Amino acid sequence: MNDCCTPGSGRRYDLVVVGAGSAGFSAAITAAGAGAKVALIGHGTIGGTCVNVGCVPSKAMIRAAESIHGAKSANRFPGVTGSAKVKNWTQLIAAKDNLVEGLRQKKYADLLPEYENINYFDEGSARVVEGGVQIGERVIVAPKIIVATGGRPSLPPIKGIDEVSTLDSTELLDLKTLPKSLIFIGAGYIGSELALMMARMGVEVTIICRSRLLPGAEPEISEALTESFRAEGVAMYCGSTYDACHQDHSGVTICIEHEGERLELTAESLAVMTGRTPNTEGLGLENAGVALDSRGAIVVGDNMQTSNPAIYAAGDVTNRDQFVYMAAYGAKLAARNAVASGAEVYDKSAMPWVVFTDPQVAGVGLSEAEARQAGFEVKTSIVPLDQVPRALAARDTRGLIKLVADRNTDKLLGGQIMAPEGSDSIQTLAMALKFEMTAKALGETIFPYLTTVEGLKLAAQTFDKDVTKLSCCAG
């Protein structure tokens, strides 16, 4: 704790930020940069979800799993063979923990002394009260508040789930021993990433989901990714319902309905990846007149302001996008609007997103269904990766690229990529959308040869040409 303010002491701040994760730090640093005096309240582990239990540890473990798969799949090249496996799970987990601790210290704790206008409080849970925020017996006085307390994994209402062995995403990444089998419930981006990771670590993995793998992705991509998962031995039960589970000496069994058949599936544990709950309990938001939605998330307007004009919110605790970079972005807007009387508006029109499966899935802008729902007359193009020279040279043609454009104006509306290097390619399309490029303009742009991102050019040309009839670089 750098400073304190006891009731009646007269010390006031311009802004109180509750939560010291990515959104909280973004808000505090932005406000301090504008000359405001900021009180930053921990309300949980410093660094929040991303560095501690989310992005950083999961991507570290996913990369480790990719190295195993890369060795095993080396035989796709004639005359090459390879193999790899987990030799010491404890050592791998320790390395992940060391990475987390180092980044938490370097990117969060060590930054605090660099900002004289920020005072950090780490005294337990916070509560919004009249005139400020209370932590313990202290009341920190400020005219404006930003809530950035994040979210946590949640359990679905399945009969018996409280009585069986379950793992959420946090617990899965902290396992002390590698299990032999897991059943994943839920196939959103968290479930998909971690399920494939565990399968590549040598775990027998089954996925159960009510709709399809990555339900927010284009159907063509969801179908292609499902086939890729199955090719790696992951059992898939998409379009299933589940209503009960129990545990005995053989493990945890979940009862599902799949394609009209009643099935019982058993594994060591259930990995439950069915959603997250905003951390709004105990904050006193109801008494402060802050509206919540049906999930318990804070409802914010485009300026990140809540129904109480003195209180703003950002990040996973809100009803906005659940990405760490969008949390930081929203927090910057909230801080500027709160302390500088700004009128900045949350804009997600060119917001890229990435799912770190393998192949990776990335997108930006509107999907085909979203574009039609928005009233556009739509045209689409799809290029399978077997038309992208980079993929042919790598002997890995799993995936495709799909673009969506306005049929009347040729303006690009969105697109999605499924490719081993899709995460590093999507930003090019994000820039194209940001600057309102047409499909024709994208197709006429010079791209470097033998890159995955060149697939965007081919996809843009596919609106008007048959790219299978073009020679290399001829477009």
Residue 269 belongs to a domain with what CATH number? 3.50.50.60
Answer with the one of 315, 339, 363 that is the final residue of a domain: 339
What letter does residue 385 receive in the DSSP assignment? G
Q: With respect to residue 322, please indicate whether it lies within any of the assigned structural domains.
A: yes
Q: In what helix (H) or strand (E) does residue 244 lie, and over which residues does it extend?
A: strand 241-248
- 145 and 217 belong to one structural domain: no
pLDDT at position 3, please?
45
Q: Which CATH number do you get for residue 457?
A: 3.30.390.30
Domain count, the chain: 3
Q: Do 57 and 173 form a contact (C-beta atoms < 8 A)?
A: yes
| Half-sphere CA count of 131, side-chain side, radius 13 A | 9
Q: How far apart are CA 24 and CA 28, in angstroms?
A: 6
Nearest to 47, CA basis, from 122, 113, 134: 122
Q: b/e per residue, 209-233, with b = 16+ CB within 10 A?
A: beebbbebbbebbbebbbebbeeee
Per the domain annotation, does 9 fall within a domain?
no
Residue entry with tokens 């904050």 = 283
Residue 179 DSSP code: -
Say whether both 143 and 29 belong to one domain: yes
Residue 321 lies in a domain: yes
Domain final position from 273, 294, 314? 273
The residue type found at 192 is S
> What single-letter amino acid sits at 457?
K
DSSP conformation letters of 196-233: HHHHHTT-EEEEEESS-SSTTS-HHHHHHHHHHHHHTT
Select from 26, 15, 20, 287 the least CA-distant residue to 144. 15
What integer pLDDT is reported at residue 11 of this predicted model?
A: 59
Q: Strand 126-129 relative to strand 118-121: parallel, antiparallel, unpaired?
A: unpaired
- Residue 338 is predicted with a pLDDT of 97
Q: In terms of pTM, does the model score above 0.85?
A: yes
Same domain, yes or no, for 395 and 423? yes
Examine residue 183 and state whether it is found in any structural domain, yes or no: yes
Provide the domain limits for residue 209. Answer: 161-273
- Asked, for residue 29, whether it belongs to a domain, the answer is yes
Q: Return the bridge partners of 235, or none.
A: 206
> 313 with 260, same domain?
no
Q: Which residues contact 322 (CB under 8 A, 6 or more apart)?
A: 151, 276, 316
Q: Nearest CA to 16 among 141, 136, 117? A: 141
Q: Are residues 122 and 33 in the same domain?
A: yes
> Residue 395: how many CA atoms within 13 Å on its side-chain side?
8
User: Does one domain contain both 172 and 239?
Assistant: yes
- My answer on whether 24 and 146 are in the same domain is yes
Same domain, 137 and 197: no
d(CA 114, CA 283): 29
Q: What is the DSSP-derived secondary structure letter of residue 471?
A: P
Contact of 38 with 13, CB cutoff 8 Å: yes
Both structure tokens of 447: 């791209």
The Cα 435–Cα 457 span in angstroms is 16
Question: What's 288's DSSP letter?
Answer: T
> Residue 474: its pLDDT value, please?
60
Place of tokens 């209503």: 243
Q: Are residues 245 and 125 in the same domain?
A: no
> Do both 21 and 133 map to the same domain?
yes
Instruction: Give the helix/strand (H/E) hosting 151.
Output: strand 151-153
Round to the nearest angstrom and report the end-to-end CA distance of the chain.
61
What is the rounded CA–CA span in Å between residue 361 and residue 47?
Answer: 26
pLDDT at residue 12 in the model: 87
Q: What is the pLDDT tens value at each position of the chain, 475 positions in all?
A: 444 444 434 458 999 999 999 999 999 999 999 999 999 999 889 999 999 999 999 999 999 999 999 999 999 999 999 999 999 999 999 999 999 999 999 999 999 999 999 999 997 789 999 999 999 889 999 999 999 999 999 999 999 999 999 999 999 999 999 999 999 999 999 999 999 999 999 999 999 999 999 999 999 999 999 999 999 999 999 999 999 999 999 999 999 999 999 999 999 999 999 999 999 999 999 999 999 999 999 999 999 999 999 999 999 999 999 999 999 999 999 999 999 888 999 999 999 999 999 999 999 999 999 999 999 999 999 999 999 999 999 999 999 999 999 999 999 999 999 999 999 999 999 999 999 999 999 999 999 999 999 999 999 999 999 988 887 766 6
The pLDDT value recorded for residue 469 is 84
63 domain residue, yes or no: no
